[in-house]
Structure 1
Amino acid sequence: MDSTMVISNRMALLIGWMMVVTVFLLSLLPLSSPVGIVQGGDKLGHLLAYFGMTYWFLHLSMYPWRVLVLFLLMGAAIEVLQSLTDYRYFEWADLLANGIGVLVAYVVFVWAKLQLKFISIKSPGGNDLGT
């Protein structure tokens, strides 16, 4: 029996949208205590959250550049929305961390696709290295 877990596109989209909703909620709801245990640790959280969401949706989309633009805009929109509350505020460093997470996810995604193409190139003997 194959132990590889395969999830449907519908389930993958549901998981992705749950990540997006979670980021919106964590970004816009008031926090009862400081999040960062390590100074600047929240920036790492921003980077990892946006990396994860972007990388996830890049695998589900036929138009990777749209995913890139969507999450860059989402990061900016959340920062603007935070500035409209009296308990959160706009922070350029958060916006930068969000953007870096998105861009790193895109670079890793493109790199991984190139690696898969390279692996699938036929060897000189005619055998497909990818199988």
Structure 2
Amino acid sequence: MARVTLWRWLLAIAMLAMLVLCLMPASLSPPSTGWDKGNHALGFAVLAFLARWAWPARMPTTLLALLGYGALLEALQSLTPDRLAEWSDLWADGMGLLIGAVVASMMQRIVTKPSIRH
């Protein structure tokens, strides 16, 4: 249970960091992959990965909630003077969520794979 709590805290911290990065003025040069859609995909892949360990039995619901979080971030960006809300960003968020979920599932299989003894 303590391990799940740690993953939940890490997810909350990552979500807060994503909020700050998405709303900070573009003039401050936030960390970047060099491609806006890559930034979205990478950020949401990390969120999906953390969510997989935070709520392992609720992955579909958690992914849908994270996509909603992405939509909220886009809506908030539309309220800032130098950021834009784009449907393509939400699409990149969704792709990142799928990538992060697949990577986390593959990692879980490796970690929980029973050892074969001869």
TM range (shorter): 0.7 to 0.9
Moved over 3 A (4+): 33-38, 109-117
Q: Distance in 1 between matches of 2:38 and 2:74?
A: 16
Shift of 1:106: 2.1
Count of paired positions: 114
When residues 90 and 18 of structure 1 are mapped into structure 2, their CA distance, relative to the original with a 3 A threshold, is same
State the Cα RMSD in Å: 2.5
Q: Distance in 1 between matches of 2:90 and 2:69?
A: 10
Query: What is the letter of the counterpart of residue 116 of structure 2?
Result: L
Aligned partner of 2:116 in structure 1 is 129
When residues 116 and 34 of structure 1 are mapped into structure 2, their CA distance, relative to the original with a 3 A threshold, is closer
Q: Distance in 1 between matches of 2:67 and 2:21?
A: 17
2:7, 2:53 within 8 Å by CA — same for their partners in 1? Answer: no
2:80 equivalent to 1:85: yes
Quick one: which of 67, 85, 88 aligns to 1:72?
67
Shift of 1:63: 0.8
Instruction: Provide the identity percentage.
Output: 25
Q: Distance in 2 between matches of 1:84 and 1:68?
A: 25
Shift of 1:105: 1.7
Shift of 1:83: 1.2
Shift of 1:53: 1.0
2:46 equivalent to 1:52: yes
Tell me which structure has the larger Cα radius of gyration.
Answer: 1
Structure number with higher relative contact order (C-alpha < 8 Å, ≥ 6 residues apart): 2
Secondary structure, counterpart of 2:70 in structure 1: helix
User: Whose helix fraction is larger, Structure 1's or Structure 2's?
Assistant: 2
Shift of 1:34: 4.8
TM-score by length of 1: 0.71
**Unmatched tracts of structure 2, length 5 or more:** none
**Unmatched tracts of structure 1, length 5 or more:** 1-6, 121-127
